Structure 1
Amino acid sequence: MKPIARDEISFAFDGLSRPECVLCTASAGVFMSHDPIGVLHIAPDGSRGLHGRKDKVASGQFTPNGIALSNDGRLLIANTGLEGGVWQVDRAGDCRPLLMEVDGIHLYPANFVLADALGRLWISVSTRQVPRSKAYNADILDGYIVLWEKGTARIVADGLGYTNECRLSNDGAFLYVNETFKRRISRFAVGADGTLGPRETFVQLGFGDFPDGGVFDVEGHYWITSVVSNRIYRIDLDGRPHLVFEDADSDYVALAETAYREGRLSAEMLYADAGQSFNHIASITFGGADLRKAYLGTLKMQQLPFFRAPVAGSKPAHWHWSF
């Protein structure tokens, strides 16, 4: 596949605030995380609505990260702030906790939430470390995946290296999990009851690569973003990554890489400005009528970069759901 050139990337919307996660739908518009409220909804006619916390929250307590749209029209928010948990916003605008702990374990930092076609939620919790920056190295393996179904939640995978976005394969047979600071993509066979099989390493990444977001295209290839190096990879079915785009600041990557290897990568360093034209590409989502408009979620930009993908994305479960 021919790499995407920098001049092929355009920008959509403006006035965004930490649009880390982006959801596209067939007719309900575009949703993106919006700090510190929750979710920004841009309707097809261009009108905007903010949904989430209206109360005053102390700094650092509520940071909307991964978002999802459920089959009954609720918005779901993974809170990576210290308050943690997965929150829900109904159509009336009421925002309240959905799940704050599992087996007595506080869900901090809840990183991502995925709603599937069966009404289940797959929730990634990056680490048990407080603050979470203690897990910015390869030796901490305490991230986990929670499955929520019909009001009951359980841990279905544990011992992961900073659990980030997770996605079901197009056939639903496997759950793919991005482990940011273990620098790998793992996958688990999914049983009929949601039980996961043993962890398999799908791909191990290298220098400067810290996988954050991921999404499948219609051909079953897995696209991922690397938040430090501003890279986008398309991974073959057999686990071979192909670089699709890069906007790396080599000095910053080298600085972060050295700190990572020496076990001193900090939040201040990780979230410093990065990239030449794009600042901390964190996720990728397919949208548009033909699912070939690839939006890039970021941690620090106020617009959404996007490009025309050479292959369509796979239709997500929420594609025809409304809010």
Structure 2
Amino acid sequence: MARGSHDAQRSTHARQALLMAARLSLARRLEAFESCRHELVALSYRMLGDLGRAEDMVQEAWPRWQAHEGDVASSRAFLVTVVTRLCLSELGSARARREETRPDRLPEPVDLDEGGITRVERLEQVSMAFLVALQRLTPAERAVLLLHDVFDFEHQEIAERLGNSAVACRKLLERARRSLATERRMLSASQEEHRRLLAAFLRAASGNDLQGVVELLAEDAVLVTDGGAEGRRFAGQRNLSRPLQGAARIAAFVIATARHTVGVLRVEEHRLNGQPAAVFWDGARPFAALVLAVGDGKVQRVYFHADLHRLSRLGRQVDLDLNLSRWWSSSRE
């Protein structure tokens, strides 16, 4: 009887030890997951261009990490692999393919603090110009470029994670870099240059200064207005369904649009994707966000975000000493 009681006690102690070990293992896995969360969200956001979907991908990675049996050499490498594969699967869905092929689609503009990706070391890697350039790549090119150039994985490591050969990954990287080569000039402008050109652009637009807008734009500048899948209409004007190219054409569109918004919408200074930006408000609701890509002292790209479903992470107003509101809040005489 005493022996049976002793065996039962040992069995209880064994179960308790196993339970304690399992809890410790889960705590360690949770700690490893949380330490990588910001990096994983930043990866997913750059892959998908949508912060909400990016967060979903990271959440989907947790049960896979939790259920994985055995040790891994690097929790970071394991989680990056899982999230990358989830993003590739998401990009292969019918819904994502429809969105990706829409010519006026822009990545979601976000305040990096609010989006939880402030730990990104190089802000140009989440700039709007960089994200737009990434959208033009195939999902596989996008993944290889990010894993190699941002996350510092070697070609063989990438090949193993994507189920491809190292030679194929090298070719994907080469193609991706060639596609991004022309955009590099827009990834190195200083914050001061962004501030100066944003202020000058809005001052000229609000002042009905057509020539002033033209002179700020590069000759081959491009304007993209994203009003969402259904488009947006305001004061009889609809957002452009396709990009508009050329300084003169863009300036004419900007001046025509400004005539309907000066004195009607309120403008605030924000920092979106790490860069100075303007957010327009209709009462208490965000109406649109304006982000510029600049290089060589000129505005190279004008991104006008008017998809109301993707204007929820604009963050707080910041003081960039641009005084944007003084130009936009008063009607023209």
Fold similarity call, TM over 0.5: no
Structure ranking higher in strand proportion: 1
Structure ranking higher in helix proportion: 2
Please report the TM-score for the alignment, with normalisation by the length of structure 1: 0.29
Larger radius of gyration: 2
